[in-house]
Amino acid sequence: MVLGRIAITGAAGTIGTAVRRALRSEAELLLLTDRVPLRAEAPNEEVRPADLSDPAAVEAALAGADAVLHLGGIPDEAPLAALLTANVLGTHHVLEAARRLGIGRVVLASSNRAAGFYPAGHLTSPREPVRPDGLYGVSKAALEALGSLYADKFGLSVLCLRIGTFAPAPVEPRDLATWLSPRDAVGFVRAALTAPARPGFATAYAVSANTRRFWELPDRDVLDYVPVDDAEVHSADVPGAELPTDPTAPQAGPYARPEFTLRHLG
Ligand X SMILES: NC(=O)c1ccc[n+]([C@@H]2O[C@H](COP(=O)([O-])OP(=O)(O)OC[C@H]3O[C@@H](n4cnc5c(N)ncnc54)[C@H](O)[C@@H]3O)[C@@H](O)[C@H]2O)c1
Q: HEC states along 174-212?
A: CHHHHEECHHHHHHHHHHHHHCCCCCEEEEEEECCCCCC
Give the closest residue to 6 by CA, choosing from 143, 106, 92.
Answer: 106
Report the b/e string of 96-107 with b at 16+ CB within 10 A.
bbbeeeebbbbb
Please select the residue that binds ligand X; options are 26, 46, 51, 59, rule is CB under 6 A.
Answer: 51
- From CA 162, how far away is CA 143, in angstroms rounded? 11
Cβ–Cβ under 8 Å, residues 84 and 26: no
Please select the residue that binds ligand X; options are 4, 5, 14, 79, rule is CB under 6 A.
Answer: 14
Catalytic residue among 118, 136, 150, 205: 136
In the complex with ligand X, the residue whose CB is nearer, 108 or 120, is: 108
In the complex with ligand X, the residue whose CB is nearer, 28 or 56, is: 56
Give the closest residue to 163 by CA, choosing from 186, 146, 145, 147.
Answer: 186
- % helix, strand, coil for the chain, step of 5: 35, 20, 45
Mark 112-151 with x for binding to ligand X (rule: CB under 6 A) and - for no binding: ----------------------------------------
Please select the residue that binds ligand X; options are 28, 53, 128, 237, rule is CB under 6 A.
Answer: 53
35 lines the binding site for ligand X (CB under 6 A): yes
- Cα 182 to its chain centre, rounded Å, is 13
Number of other residues whose CB lies within 10 A of the CB of residue 125: 14
Is 136 tagged catalytic? yes
Smallest gap from residue 86 Cβ to ligand X (A): 4
Mark 153-182 with x for binding to ligand X (rule: CB under 6 A) and - for no binding: ----------x-xx----------------
Please select the residue that binds ligand X; options are 3, 6, 16, 227, rule is CB under 6 A.
Answer: 16
In the complex with ligand X, the residue whose CB is nearer, 71 or 186, is: 71
Please report, in angstroms and rounded to a whole number, the separation of the first and last CA atoms in the chain. Answer: 50
Please select the residue that binds ligand X; options are 23, 30, 111, 234, rule is CB under 6 A.
Answer: 111
Would you tell me which residues interact with ligand X (CB under 6 A)? 10, 12-16, 34-36, 51-53, 71-75, 86, 90, 109, 111, 163, 165-166
- Active-site residues, by number, are 136
